[in-house]
Structure 1
């Protein structure tokens, strides 16, 4: 008795009919082999050096391509800096040319107000002119480093900004306290810029903390702290110096402010 039918099908088994979308026998075997290999596919030892995260990333990208999704992964936000420091830098950048102009005009007025004074030979005109020129040159570079350091939140740029702030505080303190004659406009301009410069140096500290500067070991943050501390120390010294000079001044020309002096006109 023939146990096999002419169609070649085993007994007690229904004949297999493959539909148009059904996989063939080779595809089923390949899928079965692939399923057995997927047990180890995510393991780094069996994936030819591909780690689990790399495999998941590739699968995620393949899924995005298959679904046609154009959504991109979120990128980290760039640093924005401090708005208050940016506003103070804008103020200094706008006022520096006006400050130089007003200081030069006030110097011309002061020395023209005493044409016959014998004390003009001992004035500090030779000190004031180089100071105002150096102030104008350094201020532009200092503000540029401040803009860059505030935008990128880099401690190295903020350290250079603080270092360049030290001579500016020196110049402003000199024009506010140690000039031969200090007009009221001089006192107002120099004191305003002195306070703004000190505030800029102070605002660099929270900016460095926010950018992670406190976790740095060696190099940039130590330089930043040294520069900022020196700038604040100079500001405090000039405030104390001006307070002591105001109390101990003898109200005699030309060592005090011009507003405290009695100017006599020689006809």
Structure 2
């Protein structure tokens, strides 16, 4: 059985990978940031062995904070990613590196293919794109998987926030002019584990739940799913919620290359949302 290593195991995707991997009987081990410094070459080489598959979920994801501390984001998203790729290349291991829709400019009108021109508009996006390039330069057999709008419904992600706000507020204003691909971490984890077991050539793939939605659409879907009136969610514009880092207006990712690689397409986002909420104990309270 192939041994699977997960970096960034304390995050929402890393946690989902460990849970799903263990349920499937995989030989899977996770490392949080306190257990493995991915920029430490010796530490990384100590855990990467020939034949293993490394799923890198470790990332600096504080999008707004990165605008004033790009060096911190670079250390994890570029230097750390490169260190992992160098280690997998030397050991004869496989690397699956998770990236983001933020590598694009957000001004498209049709879903982005993996080879579409990039053009990040944020420090976070620049560091993630540089990380992709560093990974593929160090280990051409690596697979970069871009995803978007990942949630679990637990903690402080968007879906979890909507669950909380439907209990606390009469009305909620949510932006309707940003469109993307809502992605349940559990489904993404299943897709990454399938990829880990397949002989897929190195390069870039996209993996999100199927379809597209605005944050407003997603919020209304959350409200409706738990029996709250979706009309309590009101549309507003990005300009109403200025942020240090600009958010992409359009960041839908095409699943065509994922399917062409023989991998199972992720289900439609509304179906995935229902499954996600079924796993949240207090979703309907």
Shorter-chain TM-score: what band? under 0.3
Larger Rg: 1
Structure having the higher helix fraction is: 1
Structure having the higher strand fraction is: 2
The structure with higher relative contact order (CA 8 Å, sep 6+) is 2
